[in-house]
Structure 1
Amino acid sequence: MAIDRRKVLGLLGLTSVAAGEAAAQATSYYKGPVAFEHGVASGDPSPTAAIFWTRVTPKDAATGEIAVELEIAADPDFKTLVTKTSGLRARASRDWTVKHDIDGDGLKPATDYWYRFKANGVISPVGRTRTLPVGKTKDVVLAVASCALYPNGYFNAYDAIAKLPRVDAVLHLGDYIYEYGGAADDYGMSSPTSKARAPQPATEILSLDDYRRRHAQYKSDPGLQAAHARAPWIVVWDDHETANDSWVGGAENHDPKTEGDWAVRKAAALKAYYEWMPIRDAHGSLPEAAWRDFQFGDVASLLMVETRLSGRTQELTYDADLAIVDGKPDVAGFVAKWKSPDQRMMGQDQQKWLASQIGASVKNNTAWQVLGNQVVMARVAAPNLKATMGEANFNVLLSKLNDYARKAVLQAVAISAYDVPSNLDAWDGYPADRQRVYDIFTAAKARPIVLAGDSHMFWANELWDDAGKTRVAAEFGATSITSPGYGDALPGVPVAEALIQRNKEVKYAHASAKGFLLLTLEHGKATGEMMAVSTIYEPTYTTSVLKRFVVTPATDGGVEALKEV
């Protein structure tokens, strides 16, 4: 039976939360004991606005609604109250989450505020937020994070973000949660922390209740709660908030024969996401349309793009799309599919929006145009580990790998003989659409910095146009909070060295470190610091700067070469 996806969204209640939620009339109240077990958060800031979030957990079987109050102060002790909002409601229909959009009400640009919620006589933890600057601005400091697999390790990197002496906003580029279950062979369950951090529910998440429970588990983590309470977050999903390698019509990790209709699962995942994340709900559009802009004075225009659910066509795979003809790979046939203009990462509406935003930012003399983007944009051809390691060492490596890893390494060596991508799920799998973005950059004479997550690696890349003649942007890739990468699967193997040797655009890569990117934007330069935590397997850790790179704007648009400092 065909399912109308708009009706599905309506049936699941995936509708916007109006700024006037406080005016809603409750028919009955739950007045029993409650707790704030999942902390507080703020997000999507502007010079005079932000989203404020919490979840009220009723301790008994609750019926009706819970009345909630929000206080915002100019100091952490709440001696100077800026605004108070009464009559907010926590409802079962939104999993007892509360999300309130304050615009104005005394909030001023470039200012720190402290906030807390109250419900049934209980006071929540205190959070800190910051509004965006306007006009002349000296600098902006952003922490950039992605990819947190709960069973694979402690969220030490989130805790490290919470302890930063300064952070104006936290950018999360996706894979905030993962959909996998807790079976012995599930992703991350071989970690030494997996028993203490087994996923809830224990199976792969499919239903609305499943996704809600997984979000709740993540937000029970003290490191993540601390990072949310430290600064406003600006977030976007990647694939694991729904299912691995998702696209408009499905996902690699979704089987409609056994797991139901993709539209139903996606709607459930997005409803839970909008309930549990400090993101402004979609208004007047489908919930997949999560692209939006943030202006940090005259220093940076931050453009958060959506490259999974609103426009992405199904990715190619070497197994399915690289045919064997007369015993040889049909590389020419594969390249024709790969370079097809029909391979899209974004829909046309989003690309028009991006062009408009980039053009306006440059015309307003904003120093940097920053793309908050999920996946790596650089050209990254498969590395030839055999050539980098030498044949003898490579053969020793093969003898130590399991069947899955051995196949992946041999496939990478095989395709490294051709000018084709290492990762077809990244922008590399959609070169025509990537060039459309580059054309937007060059037409506007923009000074772009692309931010990327997803890969579980640190990156410092220079992005060149298809002709290889114009450096159009710099890219900083944030490694994972805990999710395993190539360096974990191949310990001691020079994966990063092989990537750098093979690829002109890759200036630095680290395949095993865990942590986050700290980006400082100023007029005339941008500094990316790869912040690494010493361990994810123990709750005690140290933080260090693994590498630091600086990029400066070119005279007539684009950027100069990356420099390590």
Structure 2
Amino acid sequence: MHFSRRDLLKLFAASSASIVVSSGLNGCNDSSSSSGGSPSNDASENSVSFHHGVASGDPLSDRVILWTRATPALDEAVTIQWEVAEDANFLNLVNTDSASVDASTDFTLKVDVMGLTPGQRYFYRFKHGDTVSETGQTNTLPSTTDKIKLAVFSCANYPAGYFHVYADAASRANELDAIIHLGDYIYEYDIEGYPDAGSGETINRVHQPTHECIQLEDYRTRYAQYRSDADLQNLHAQLPFICVWDDHEIANDTYDNGAENHDEQTEGDFFQRRAAAIQAWYEWLPVRAPEVDADKIKTYRQFDFGSLVSLMMLDTRVVGRNKQLDYADYMDVSGQFDIQTFSQDLVDSDRSILGEEQKNWVLENLIESKASGTTWQVLGQQVLMAKMLLPASIIMPDPQTGLPNPQNLVNYQTAANAYQELAEAVITTLTQNGILNDYAAQIDGFASLSPTQQGIALTEAVKASNTALYGEIFAQLPEASQTALQTYGDLLNPSLNPSIPYNLDAWDGYAAEREILLQTAKAYQSNLIVLAGDTHNAWCSRLIDQNGDLAGVEFATSSVSSPGMEKYLSIPMGYEASTESGIESLVEDLQYFNSSQRGYMVVTFTADAATAQWYMMPREAEKSEQRPNFSVNKQADVLIDSLNLELS
């Protein structure tokens, strides 16, 4: 059977959320398209508005996706015209045509505009009769460049607060090359489904529909609500987005064949729900859909910014993730934690967060990117990759509340501070008695230990070999420190209070596959930068493999509006800094942590360094309609090749 170009375009549009491929002026007319230069003939019969704005996304060096949604007066197909120009007055048109949209794609239209110039800014708009959309701006990826600047976002919950974060980024649009959205673009919960975020009633931002999103129309309605937000619309209109989904685009803690927030008994077949969510995602976001419908589950893809950055966007949620481990499954009836079985399952090499096909794809692309001379290899993905191990007492949930007891962190810090006093007293006494070197000589690798590790080793050596001297030193401590060690000292014993992952939903729950990725990056001397979201907090960590070698650096963004650790750990106002410093001291590879502020991240790449800046607004500012001030809370600079990390 022979298919004409016109027939192929019809098939492509029908199977890919109404994507139309357009390569020039009047470049893709078919029987459903009106002439690009003429007003649509249905304008007088069915008026249209562009309530949800315009957007662009998935830029390549020669093409970009343009998006809009037509809201018709009548539930009938309408013809939409678009124009792309090199100037804001649309005097120098480079692409114009029209296509029909209808209810089958929720009246959304996506155009893959081709034949564009690399590194070029373009202006675009949509028309229906005399109705004209706002003008959007977009750009193609450069073929050569010495600097790339990306803004990174995650976790926007409509009832949790105003999208001030998007507004601030839009004010810096002229400085940026693209927007990276790492998912949780919407949330699926019903009006009471996320108590920490709030219902939105007090700020007039209640989720629509008010019930949980399960069916296609539910997800469509939810996207329409989010895309009605003026701040989000403004950002979309100014820069191209590069998006991946996280879990809430479908359901909380999604995995390959289910989700924590899905009940087959009451909510029906998970795969039908997932298919509905994925269809709405493709309809409402400016992403390039695959030609084969079955491939829509594959969102991993690569964007090359000249030879400076290879950006590989990954899916750690849907396409290959095995079900998350759950601490509750390792607790016996007496409340004892089976650390041995848990530890074995944690490093099981059969557990996957990417799936075999995606894992092979990213490994091959990492190797190819470095071999081709690209400077930076960047992974854009959802969850934290760095090791985030904390003492079990701090993160295990309280049986009464289901959440960690914040007092446990205080108790641990109290014991740790008292032990530090003890170690300092031990070192002072050994030095005064002239026997420090004698004890140090008995400790294997003493010289290679950090000062903190040396203090611990010396203290334990004295405690084990000279109980009388240890007792004298202990008695010299302030009474409060003695009490702290007597009461909470066991918390410092790793065999009694082991360090375990704080979040099994992250890469910590899939340690073997993380190790494969990190060792590959190390072996091929990649300049690896990992971008992460999901946690609603800001982080910066070194990525260390199991051999103790530095393989990369992770920059993780805070959330647009979703609440973070301040809710999870019930951190009182004014105690944020002490909590942050406490956790930073406990997590070996962690270099920066912000526990309570909403914001976004700007990452700049040059030939010499990768720089992350975390732009934050004051705590709880998302709850007020008044525009807050943003400031750089922290800056991290990673030097090329050495991957040395400097914070300021």
TM-score by length of 2: 0.77
Shift of 1:23: 4.1
Equivalent pair of 1:69/1:85 in contact (CA under 8 Å)? yes
1:491-510 equivalent positions in 2, closer than 5 A: 491-492=572-573, 493=575, 494-510=578-594
Contact 2:60/2:140 (CA < 8 Å) preserved in 1? yes
Distance 2:275 2:637 in 1: 41
- In 1, the alpha carbon distance for the partners of 2:97 and 2:189 equals 39
Of 268, 281, 300, 1:273 maps to 281
Q: Which residue of 2 aligns with 1:36?
A: 50
Q: Which moved more, 1:406-415 or 1:288-297?
A: 406-415
Q: Which residue of 1 aligns with 2:197?
A: 188
SS class of match (2:183): coil
Q: 1:176 to 1:184 in 2, by over 3 A?
A: closer
Q: Which residue of 1 aligns with 2:599?
A: 515
Indicate conservation of the 8 Å contact 1:462/1:561, yes or no.
no
Kindly report which structure 2 residues correspond to 1:381-530, keeping only aligned pairs within 5 A, or say none: 381-382=389-390, 403-405=401-403, 417-468=497-548, 470-488=549-567, 489-492=570-573, 493=575, 494-530=578-614
- Structure 1 residue 187: Cα displacement: 5.1
CA distance in 2, matches of 1:332, 1:406: 22
Matching of residue 342 in structure 1 with residue 350 in structure 2? yes
Q: Structure 1's 176 and 484: CA in aligned 2 closer, same or farther, altered over 3 A? A: same
Residue in 2 that maps onto 1:125: 134
Structure 2 residue aligned with 1:314: 323
Once residues 366 and 177 of structure 2 are traced to their aligned partners in structure 1, the CA distance between those partners, rounded to angstroms, is 22
Opposite residue 101 of structure 1, the aligned amino acid is: D
User: Residue 380 and residue 255 in structure 1: after superposition, are their counterparts in 2 closer, same or farther (change >3 A)?
Assistant: same
Distance 1:18 1:184 in 2: 34
Q: Which moved more, 1:21-30 or 1:528-537?
A: 21-30
For residues 50-74 of structure 1, the C-alpha deviation after alignment (integer angstroms, 9 at most, x for no partner) is: 0000000012x322x1111111111
1:253 aligned to 261, 267, 290, which one?
Answer: 261
Q: Percent identity?
A: 36
How far is the alpha carbon of 1:403 from its aligned partner?
A: 2.8
1:498-557 Cα deviation digits (max 9, x unpaired): 321111110000011111000000001011000112421223221111111100122xxx
- Answer yes or no: is 1:536 the counterpart of 2:622: yes
Deviation at 1:17, TM superposition (A): 4.5
Asked if 1:553 corresponds to 2:640, the answer is: yes
Q: Unaligned 5+ residue runs, structure 1?
A: 1-9, 388-397
Q: 1:483 to 1:340 in 2, by over 3 A?
A: same
CA contact (8 A) 2:346 2:510 kept: yes
Shift of 1:439: 2.4
Counterpart-to-counterpart distance in 2, 1:410 and 1:315? 25
Distance 1:332 1:160 in 2: 48
Question: Structure 2 unaligned runs (5+)?
Answer: 1-10, 23-27, 34-40, 413-490
2:80 equivalent in structure 1? 68
Larger radius of gyration: 2
Work out the number of aligned pairs and report it.
Answer: 529
Output the CA distance in 2 between the equivalents of 1:92 and 1:199: 22
- Cα separation, 1, equivalents of 2:394 and 2:320: 37
On the 8 A contact 2:152/2:601 being kept in 1, the answer is yes
Which position in structure 1 is the counterpart of 2:178? 169
Q: Is the 8 A contact 1:385 1:498 kept in 2?
A: no
Amino acid in the other structure paired with 1:538:
S
The one of 78, 90, 102 equivalent to 1:78 is: 90
Paired residues of 1:17 and 1:281 also in contact (CA < 8 A): no
Query: SS of the counterpart of 2:566?
Result: helix
What is aligned with 2:438? none
The aligned residue for residue 462 of structure 2 is none
Query: Are the structure 2 counterparts of residues 187 and 512 from structure 1 closer, same or farther at C-alpha, using a change threshold of 3 Å?
Result: closer
Q: Distance in 2 between matches of 1:100 and 1:196?
A: 34
Counterparts of 1:194 and 1:242 in 2: how far apart (Å)?
Answer: 26
Q: Cα deviations across residues 215-234 of structure 1 (Å, max 9, x unaligned)?
A: 00000000000111111000
Tell me if structure 1 keeps the 8 A contact 2:392–2:499.
no
Equivalent-residue separation in structure 2 for 1:499 and 1:206 (angstroms): 38
Alignment of 1:187-266 (within 5 A): 188-189=197-198, 194-266=202-274
Residue 162 of structure 2 is aligned to residue 151 of structure 1: no
The separation in 1 between residues aligned to 2:15 and 2:261, in whole angstroms, is 23
The residue type equivalent to 2:551 in the other structure is: V
Match of 1:49 among 54, 60, 63: 63
- Matched residue SS, 2:390: coil
Question: What is the CA–CA distance in structure 2 between the aligned matches of 1:14 and 1:260, rounded to whole Å?
Answer: 25
